[in-house]
Amino acid sequence: MSSVITLNRAALIENVKFLKHLYHEDIRISSVVKGNAYGHGLSSYIPIAESVGFDHFSVYCADEAKELIKVVQKPETEIMIMGHVDYSDLAWVIDNNISFFVFDFMRLELAIEAAQHLGKKALVHIELETGMNRTGFDEKDLTQLVETLKRNEEWVEFTGLCTHFAGAESISNYLRVQHQKKQYLHMSKVLEEMGLKPKMKHTCCSAASIRLPEMRLDMVRIGILQYGFWPSREIFIEYLKGRKVKIDPLKRLISWESKIMSIKHIEMGEFIGYGTTFLAQKDMKIAVVPIGYSHGFSRSLSNQGRVLVRGHRTAVLGIVNMNCITIDVTDIEDVAINDTVTLIGKDGEHEITVSSFSELSDQLNYELLTRLPSSIPRKVK
């Protein structure tokens, strides 16, 4: 195998301890595992997540729920779908007690129909449109919504009332997010006045759970924080502000390593790899590492990326290829074929963080993580 991703269980234990302490005891955490558990790998991540106490997982679509259900081990574990359920998957979803977001009348009618057909209740989270302008019921829909839900009480459980904030990780969205909060609370009150109460209310992703603690309500939907990353630098600063101890409480779970495949010497004045983007200014020793953009090592890291070898931080030379990169090992004495190359993670005193990696390649942490292909083997430490 050309590279391995390792998940550190001890780091997850720390993060869960931190989150449980940060939120109130009786606030439930739904562990968001869409995008192959943010690239960590569902089949490796879920067992350790269950072992540290998570019992509620969220995915985006029914396809992801099908992958998830295969690796869930505990019978009490609940699954929620926050986005797409194809009509053809509705019966499967309902039959497997998977709850799902419903954001328009067509879906609601289809869910009711499928539930009647199965003779089993659909577990529905009503999503409210509060200003993100993606999905959700509008205020003008509420009367008809209440009427439909009441009429079909036998087939629909009002499991949740939810919304999603549009960019709580940045203060530049402050006004918009405040408006969303007001709108959610208002619509929620209107529903209650019409005699409808959800089993639980949930609105917060990671950033909102820190910026809007009053909106944690019954459950928070936490993705990026559990994996040890802040949704943005800004949210990290916001968390630190006013705290005595200014250290990062989160621990990264993920590390990614490959190995040196070959080593050679080149002379001053030669170009390395495709084209002419890297010209050797001196005699150099270079090594080839068998990972490239097809493995999620972005092409924009060409002549920019850094990796660790034998405790040294060293540079990517030339263009990132589909399946390999070339790195500078001139100053690394004793460097040898099969030496570990750390692409993300620690080696000795140095660390390549996902954020430095993603800043250089101009991607979000979120994007970089979820682009790590599922074909890279994962192991748990």
Ligand X SMILES: *Cc1c(COP(=O)(O)O)cnc(C)c1O
Residues that bind ligand X (CB under 6 A): 32, 34, 82, 164, 205-207, 221-224, 231
Shorter beta-carbon distance to ligand X: residue 203 or 314: 203
The least distance separating ligand X from the CB of residue 173, rounded to whole angstroms, comes to 13
The least distance separating ligand X from the CB of residue 141, rounded to whole angstroms, comes to 19
Task: For residue 5, give both structure tokens.
Answer: 């991703």
The least distance separating ligand X from the CB of residue 38, rounded to whole angstroms, comes to 7
Shorter beta-carbon distance to ligand X: residue 82 or 260: 82
Q: What share of the chain is helix, strand, coil (3-state, %, to 5)?
A: 35, 25, 40
Shorter beta-carbon distance to ligand X: residue 230 or 293: 230
The least distance separating ligand X from the CB of residue 163, rounded to whole angstroms, comes to 9
Which residues on adjacent β-strands are paired with residue 317?
326
Closest residue to ligand X, judged by C-beta, is 223
- Whether 247 contacts 62, CB under 8 Å: no
Task: For residue 303, give both structure tokens.
Answer: 């002549």
Which residues on adjacent β-strands are paired with residue 320?
none
Shorter beta-carbon distance to ligand X: residue 118 or 212: 212
């499991």: which residue's tokens? 159
168 DSSP 8-state letter: T
The least distance separating ligand X from the CB of residue 355, rounded to whole angstroms, comes to 14
Which residues on adjacent β-strands are paired with residue 124?
100, 158
| Sequence letter at residue 204 | C
The least distance separating ligand X from the CB of residue 363, rounded to whole angstroms, comes to 15
Shorter beta-carbon distance to ligand X: residue 231 or 345: 231
How many Å apart are CA 270 and CA 282, to the nearest integer?
9
CA nearest 8: which of 50, 37, 39, 44?
Answer: 44
Pairing of strands 122-127, 99-102: parallel
Shorter beta-carbon distance to ligand X: residue 187 or 308: 187
Kindly tell me the sign of the dihedral angle through the C-alpha atoms of 21, 164, 111, 86. Answer: negative
Angle, vertex CA 355, rays to CA 350 and CA 360, nearest 5:
90
204 DSSP 8-state letter: E
Shorter beta-carbon distance to ligand X: residue 207 or 308: 207
Shorter beta-carbon distance to ligand X: residue 33 or 272: 33
Please give the C-alpha separations between residue 63 and each of 44, 172, 285, in angstroms, as whole numbers: 18, 34, 47
How many Å apart are CA 363 and CA 368, to the nearest integer?
6
The least distance separating ligand X from the CB of residue 197, rounded to whole angstroms, comes to 22
Shorter beta-carbon distance to ligand X: residue 226 or 321: 226
The least distance separating ligand X from the CB of residue 70, rounded to whole angstroms, comes to 21
Sort 156 into a burial class: Cβ within 10 Å, 0-12 / 13-18 / 19+.
buried
Angle, vertex CA 369, rays to CA 324 and CA 175, nearest 5:
140
How many Å apart are CA 345 and CA 352, to the nearest integer?
5
Shorter beta-carbon distance to ligand X: residue 253 or 309: 253
- Whether 375 contacts 2, CB under 8 Å: no
The least distance separating ligand X from the CB of residue 167, rounded to whole angstroms, comes to 10
The least distance separating ligand X from the CB of residue 144, rounded to whole angstroms, comes to 24
